[in-house]
Homo-oligomer: A and B are copies of this chain.
Amino acid sequence: MNKVVRDAGEAIRRAGIRDGAVIMAGGFGLCGIPENCIAAIREAGLRELTFISNNAGVDDFGLGLLLQTRQIRKMVSSYVGENAEFERQFLAGELEVELVPQGTLAERIRAAGAGIPAFYTPTGYGTVVAEGKETREFDGRMYVMERALHADFAIVKAHVGDEAGNLVYRKTARNFNPMMAAAGKVTIAEVEKLVPVGAIDPDHVHTPGIYVDFIFEGRNYEKRIEQRTNRPARSA
């Protein structure tokens, strides 16, 4: 039951990611994205991929790298701005896009991992989001029925992971990663630090190892900042 692999290349090979796969990718903006897995998918030249990811990266980073190479056929996201190549492909009809409200996206992914085939949410009632969907009243309020969102594979990024697949995220890099880890039929976790089993306090585990099939310590993290906002440096 060894989950540890050498690198992202071995992970996507052993996971069996193939052309046409539906892949969930963790991250919000460029924060907490599985950089190594994205690079390996680019290198492997996989095509016709569907990505479920809150955003689509920027032109030259994140999932934008796979847009450059035309490896993505469809995106399921809540917000896809900040990416000129995305816009070009979308307007040219080369890229299919399904927009989902962020909370509904998060909950649909959570539902998939949690064995809930459908649930009701007030979000989007009376908007285009509800078009073609069942709506229903509970206690005097209208709700939209939303379905679980499944994926063949999930690629997630954590700060620390152990060899049993337990993951700990850091700050807002957590975001969509925990639900995606649970929702992927096969889940690959890349971590900044891979530690031996027993090194993580069991009360601090964010993603229990049961959800993780393959794990490796990633390399050369760039962790690019999308909007660098700051105050003048502290006076010494």
Chain A residues at the B interface, C-beta cutoff of 8 Å: 107, 111, 114-122, 138-139, 141, 143, 147, 168-171, 202-204
Bound-state CA distance A147–B143 (Å) is 13
Known: A203-B169, A203-B170. A118 touches B116 (CB 8 A): no
Could you tell me if A203 and B171 are in contact, using CB atoms closer than 8 angstroms?
yes
Which among B121, B143, B171 is the interface contact of A202 at CB below 8 angstroms?
Answer: B171
Min C-beta distance of A205 to chain B, whole Å: 11
Taking CB atoms, residues of chain B closer than 8 Å to A202 are 171
Known: A171-B202, A203-B171. A120 touches B118 (CB 8 A): yes
Bound-state CA distance A111–B115 (Å) is 14
Bound-state CA distance A141–B118 (Å) is 12
Q: Is chain A's binding surface mostly helix, strand, loop or mixed?
A: mixed
Bound-state CA distance A97–B141 (Å) is 29
Min C-beta distance of A58 to chain B, whole Å: 26
Could you tell me if B122 and A115 are in contact, using CB atoms closer than 8 angstroms?
yes
- 27 inter-chain pairs at a CB distance below 8 angstroms, sorted by A residue, are A107-B114, A107-B116, A111-B119, A115-B121, A115-B122, A116-B119, A116-B120, A116-B121, A117-B120, A117-B138, A117-B139, A117-B141, A117-B143, A118-B119, A118-B120, A118-B138, A118-B143, A119-B119, A119-B120, A138-B147, A168-B203, A169-B203, A170-B203, A171-B202, A171-B203, A203-B204, A204-B204
Bound-state CA distance A236–B141 (Å) is 65
Q: For the complex of A and B, list the 4 residue pairs with the smallest distance between their C-beta atoms, beginning with the closest.
A: A117-B138, A119-B119, A118-B120, A116-B119
Bound-state CA distance A204–B117 (Å) is 30
Taking CB atoms, residues of chain B closer than 8 Å to A203 are 168-171, 204
